Amino acid sequence: MQVKWTRGSLKEEQKLKLDKKSMLLYAITDRTWLNGKKLEDEVEKVLKAGATFLQLREKNTPFDEFLETAKNIKIIAKKYNVPFVINDNIEIAKEIDADGVHIGQSDMEAKRARDLLGNEKIIGISAGNLEEALKAEENGADYIGIGAVFHTDTKKDATDMTMDEMRKIAAAVHIPVVAIGGINAGNIMELKGTGVDGVAVISAIFADDDVFEATRNLLKLSSEMVKA
């Protein structure tokens, strides 16, 4: 599956607009699950299996190693024509000319990120409620990650979001919305009817012994969930 993205009109402040289909299966890396496997190899399997978006998340990796990994993964993402963003680190994103960044509520406002990266780049923002989602869109985010929708060990301090809150957010904003937090093959269909455009997953892919099959299965389930 190839994902395309285009810039918006001048009236829309020329911000980059993502096809909502790019949110269908948003893969976020986590090398803690690799058990000695090479991250680049696993990422290639994930993209080959059909993941529609990729975020490199390296919370505790030294800068030089982070930079080298980002350069390598950018090449893989380009090969599969998948949007590739860096989690939190704008310096890395600028250095390798990534497609953009994903930032949390406590990291940096979207306006500041836009000033640093320019209108051509993707800015994704995390939101835990309707107010944060509306603010992210107003500040120029290209998409919003909402959650945590289920309990997750990745962010232990995250509060679970209700299905009603998800529906309110999806109905209120005009940019793509991806659900995140504890989503896996066993619970993804519980998101039916919320209006989200897809799911973002970490361990549901990278903790699996076969990331290719895990990705392919989740892509199928996400497609069914979004259409339901």
Distance CA 99, CA 83 (A): 6
pLDDT of residue 12: 42
Catalytic residue among 57, 94, 168, 192: 57
Is 126 annotated as catalytic? yes
Q: What is the DSSP letter of 200?
A: E
Quick: pLDDT tens for 186-205: 999 999 999 999 999 999 99
Return the CATH number of the domain spanning residue range 19-227.
3.20.20.70
Q: Domain locations in the chain?
A: 19-227
Q: Can you give the pTM of this predicted structure?
A: 0.90
Is 114 annotated as catalytic? no
Catalytic residue among 126, 203, 216, 222: 126
Question: Does the pLDDT at position 14 exceed 50?
Answer: no
- Banded model confidence at residue 9, pLDDT cuts 50, 70, 90: very low
Quick: pLDDT tens for 69-119: 999 999 999 999 999 999 999 999 999 999 999 999 877 778 888 989 999
- Banded model confidence at residue 2, pLDDT cuts 50, 70, 90: very low
Distance CA 36, CA 26 (A): 23
User: Between the CA of residue 24 and those of 27, 52, 156, 161, 224, what are the distances in Å?
Assistant: 10, 6, 25, 19, 10
pLDDT of residue 159: 67
Catalytic residue among 155, 167, 168, 192: 155
User: Between the CA of residue 183 and those of 26, 34, 70, 110, what are the distances in Å?
Assistant: 11, 19, 25, 25
Question: Does the pLDDT at position 6 exceed 60?
Answer: no
Is 112 annotated as catalytic? no
- Interval 142-168 mean pLDDT: 85
